[in-house]
Amino acid sequence: MSLGARRVVSVAAALDVSLLVDEGGSVLSWGACHAPLGYEVAAAQCTPRHVRFGAARDAVVVAVAVAAANGHCLAVARDGRLFAWGSNARGQLGVPPTACPASVTPCAVYLNFTSGASGAVHIASAAAGPAHCAAVCTEGRVWSWGLDNPLPRRVRIVARPLPLHSHARPHGAARPHGAARPHPVEVVCGKSHSAALTADGSVFVWEEEAPREPRSPLLASHAAVELPLPAMRVARLAAAHDSASRMHAVTTDGRVVCWERPGATAPWRAGPRQSVGQAALRQAAAVAPAEHHCAALVALHRPQLPSWTELCTACPPAAEARRSGAGAGAGAGAGAEAGAETG
């Protein structure tokens, strides 16, 4: 089918699959026949096709966002439900692989049984990594699962005792006693790590895969630590699926910055940096990193100029000039028409 005049509100893409959510909340996908499309096909699906969400109650799903990886995909519904489909070889769907090796069609992911809270969990954001997923609810609780840990587990967002925003608190001053805990609003997934962005522009990162060799205790699985942000706040966060040593962000003042570490088992460096190309960006709105390159969406600022009516009201000579110009233009147009008739 063709999108026609449909407006798209969310997009996601991986190696062999592309997803979108239109303004009506429908999820459409296209890609290779072996990709996690959300339905069965015998050959490659070259045009967008609706993804159905099962029968009965789950059939009416109004989606607001999608996430894609090479083997599995996610969809967040407006009512806070989370759906996953594709490979479950390492627990990406939130259930043990022995119970469900894979799911062609979307199935619900349940998180509240590990939260210790009553009632349903309303998911606000979700992300898909190569073999794991992460999600955050509207209350700021974070879960992740996959990479041989199929059951969703809570991520402990631990704040450091010393300030990391030099402009927010005096240098060297501790966090005020009784201050509110960080409130995550967005999550992203890298190759073997995940990160959360909080409402105040802070960034927390944690490792997903159990280490095969000793590493810093600050990088223990599912214990997030705050990354240093000297004199800046983050507005958008992004991580490449094929990189375990880099993570990008867009700051509130439009800069693109990057955290790095020497390897997947090493701690992150003290602060983010700007590369030569990124240093020229001052009005970035979003960033999309890959293994060897990075793309940024730049918002071009165009000041709103006053209309002719506003200009003439504020400056009477301009009104006279406008009328004179209009009269001259009309005379020239009449002369041109006369010349055409004569010819």
Residue 278 has a pLDDT of 55
Rounded distance between C-alpha atoms, residue 323 and residue 310, angstroms: 15
Among 6-20, 161-175, 239-253, whose mean pLDDT is lowest?
161-175
Residue 36 near residue 102, CB atoms below 8 Å: no
What's the confidence (pLDDT) of residue 164? 47
* Burial class of residue 343 (count of CB atoms within 10 Å of its CB; 0-12, 13-18, 19+): exposed
If you average pLDDT over residues 93-107, what whole number do you get? 95
Over residues 305-310, the mean pLDDT reads: 54
Look-up of token digits 């190696």:
15
Measured CA to CA, the distance from residue 330 to residue 324 in angstroms comes to: 10
Q: Give me the phi and psi of 43, to 5 degrees please.
A: -140, 175
Q: Is pLDDT larger for residue 248 or for residue 214?
A: 248
pLDDT at 111 over 90: no
For residues 149-167, give the mean pLDDT: 70
Query: Average pLDDT in the 216-227 region?
Result: 63
Q: What's the mean pLDDT in 307-316?
A: 55
Residue 186's SS3 state is: strand
State pTM to two decimals.
0.77
